[in-house]
Amino acid sequence: MVYKEVYERWQSDPEAFWMEAAEAIDWDQKPSKALFDDNAPLYEWFCDGKVNGCYNAVDRHVENGRGDQVAIIHDSPITGSISKITYAELQTRVASLAGALAAKGVSKGDRVIIYMPMVPEALEAMLACARIGAIHSVVFGGFAANELAVRIDDAQPKAIIAASCGLEPGRVVEYKPLLDGAIDLATHKPEVCVVLQREQCAAEMTERDVDWHAFQEGVAPANCVPVEGNHPAYILYTSGTTGAPKGVVRPTGGHLVALNWTMKNIYNVDPGDVFWAASDVGWVVGHSYICYAPLIHGNTTIVFEGKPVGTPDAGTFWRVIAEHNVRSFFTAPTAFRAIKREDPKGEFIKKYDISGLRALFLAGERADPDTIEWAQDIMGVPVYDHWWQTETGYTMVGNPAGIEALPVKIGSPTVAMPGFDVQILDDEGNQMAPNELGAIAVKLPLPPGTLPTLWNAEDRFRKSYLNTFPGYYETGDAGMIDEDGYLYIMARTDDVINVAGHRLSTGGMEEVLAGHPDVAECAVIGVTDQLKGQLPVGFVCLTKGVNRPHGDITAECVKLVRERIGPVAAFKLAVVVERLPKTRSGKILRGTMVKIADSEEFKMPATIDDPAILDEIRDALKTIGYAA
């Protein structure tokens, strides 16, 4: 079948389409139907089925003869080690950890926060939760204690599973002081913290802490607990307009069905093939494509602890692809920009045989044409951009390489996948003509596996996604669709920026800057960056009477964001300005500031209060190398 037929088959009978896809999953009790719409516009899938995520990702492969197949390869150029875990070993390890959690009183529906670097134990912790129906919430290691505290208070975990440290090039990031700091800050206190001691740094243990191995000693392994199809598998926090992160809920049944479907149809791998997503378990790409999807589908997944450059060089990716015979490779464009900057002629790739690789998949941020063309040239494989979000958990718009590789139009992530009726709407919610720019929305219901709600925040879910365009899911992205149905993503419609494929809230950074005692008012914008796509820049107006050196104040602002949000915010640029440009009604003109910073033409906003302020903004930006 070709793409068009598959898409039309879904369109004409979504119920049959998803019930058929659900047959690839092992259910303890088969669902009687796919869609549950009694509570529309809140939709759920496979609610009356019973299923276990860990059984589908691990046990069933052992039962079906894949026990000796490698499930996880841990390749860590940062420590110089490579290790492999078979499906049978994974089953033993996960059942043991799950048993220990159960013995400690963690059961179905309890939350467990996982704060771990790129080690296989991070996946084991996720799967152990899934095994007993506990809901995990993985927090990315690059976040500061305060961000972790916010997540602890929202998720209210019974247990936290952490490692003693993460490893950044040239720097050991001690997790335990961050974890202890977060628990001190949080109102909610977990009952136990399980700590994986890594040899690079031994964490100091308190009474609340227990060593990963000691925790599991003498405890009976746990069996898989069947859960309802709509039982939350995990909560993953992502950035929104404000500093309070949104807890995206992932329902178990739909997530298993949809992720499994994507492995062949989008990534074109068969069970047994090696699949590699170079991301981090703290992001949705890590949840879906380092942990769950490859394992559900019986693939071998790679947990890579390193960077595209500097660990040890710009050939690391090629070495991993060659050494482990990777079939499909997925990463963010920023990683390729980093490699291209170090090795523009692609000298490193010549040292490795990457002939087993079939395609490169890029997502997480805009894939710029230069990067795509460069990657195509040096790798000699098709490069597929695809577009999705934490909220959806998998591709909304992509190139279904396993069904039919459609012609690539550089600059477009290609076409809507089955399940997603993607449309461009104007401010009133009317559908726009081809090639007209508007808000990108998806007609409800969203397909299985996408978010049914936000954790503890149904109102916020409705406000953030459903209210603007009744009957649609608002993606927060703007763009257009051409006459062939190809989508183009142009910008965000909210205050979210994308730094090195990481989604960050400028509103959250503004909240931190506003907390500086000398700052009266502030704005943070995302400016274009050659490597990371975007970088945050802060503008601060000082409180009357403050006459300390501006350099001291901006340095403190930078430090404050690093301490409060974390190094991942990459907030390094701040300037002091007299005033911020605003509309007459007081709205800060952030969009215009971005255009000035990027030296782009812009139309003077008709509602601007005082156009002269824009010259002051331009001058301030020039002092930090922007607005040339």
For residues 421 and 233, give the distance between their C-alpha atoms in angstroms, rounded to a whole number: 25
Q: Is 492 in the site for ligand AMP (CB under 6 A)?
A: yes
Q: Which of 160, 284, 417, 574 binds ligand AMP (CB under 6 A)?
A: 284
Q: Is 76 in the site for ligand COA (CB under 6 A)?
A: no
- Of 406, 368, 364, 420, which is closest to residue 388 (Cα–Cα)? 364
Residue 500 binding partner per list ligand AMP, ligand COA, none, with a CB distance cut-off of 5 to 8 Å that depends on partner kind: ligand COA
Q: Which of 248, 257, 504, 568 binds ligand COA (CB under 6 A)?
A: 568
Q: Is 254 in the site for ligand COA (CB under 6 A)?
A: no
Minimum CB distance to ligand AMP, residue 466 (Å): 16
Residue 332 binding partner per list ligand COA, ligand AMP, none, with a CB distance cut-off of 5 to 8 Å that depends on partner kind: ligand COA
Pattern 161-180, binding to ligand COA, x per CB under 6 A? -----x-x----x-------
The CA radius of gyration of the chain, in Å to the nearest whole number, is: 24
Q: Is 477 in the site for ligand AMP (CB under 6 A)?
A: yes
Determine the interface stretch with ligand COA among 183-191, 306-314, 316-324, 541-549 (rule: CB under 6 A). 306-314
Q: Is 308 in the site for ligand COA (CB under 6 A)?
A: yes
Residue 68: exposure state from Cβ atoms within 10 A (0-12, 13-18, ≥19)? exposed
Q: Is 133 in the site for ligand COA (CB under 6 A)?
A: no
Number of alpha carbons in the 13 Å side-chain half-sphere of residue 409: 15
User: How many residues line the site for ligand COA (CB under 6 A)?
Assistant: 25
For residues 117 and 98, give the distance between their C-alpha atoms in angstroms, rounded to a whole number: 20
Determine the interface stretch with ligand COA among 51-59, 498-506, 540-548, 603-611 (rule: CB under 6 A). 498-506
Q: Is 387 in the site for ligand COA (CB under 6 A)?
A: no
Q: Which lies closer to ligand COA via its Cβ, residue 110 or residue 529?
A: 529
What values do phi and psi take at 334, rounded to 5?
-60, -35
Q: Which lies closer to ligand AMP via its Cβ, residue 43 or residue 140?
A: 140
Specify the DSSP element, H or E, that contains 102: helix 87-103
Q: Is 505 in the site for ligand AMP (CB under 6 A)?
A: no
C-alpha distances out from residue 169 to 378, 472, 501, 558, Å:
26, 43, 19, 21
| Sheet-wide strand order for 50-51 | 27-29, 50-51, 227-228
Name the 3-class secondary structure at 139. Answer: coil
**Pairing of β 438-443 and β 422-425:** antiparallel
For 568-591, give one letter per residue: b (16+ CB within 10 A) or e: bbbbebbbbbeebbbeeeeebbbe
For 213-228, give one letter per residue: b (16+ CB within 10 A) or e: eebbeebebbbbbbbb
Residue 166 binding partner per list ligand AMP, ligand COA, none, with a CB distance cut-off of 5 to 8 Å that depends on partner kind: ligand COA
**Positions in the binding site for ligand AMP (CB under 6 A):** 238, 284, 363-367, 385-387, 389-390, 413, 475-477, 489, 492, 498, 503
**Positions in the binding site for ligand COA (CB under 6 A):** 117, 141-142, 166, 168, 173, 279-280, 283, 285, 307-309, 332, 334-335, 338, 364, 499-502, 567-568, 570
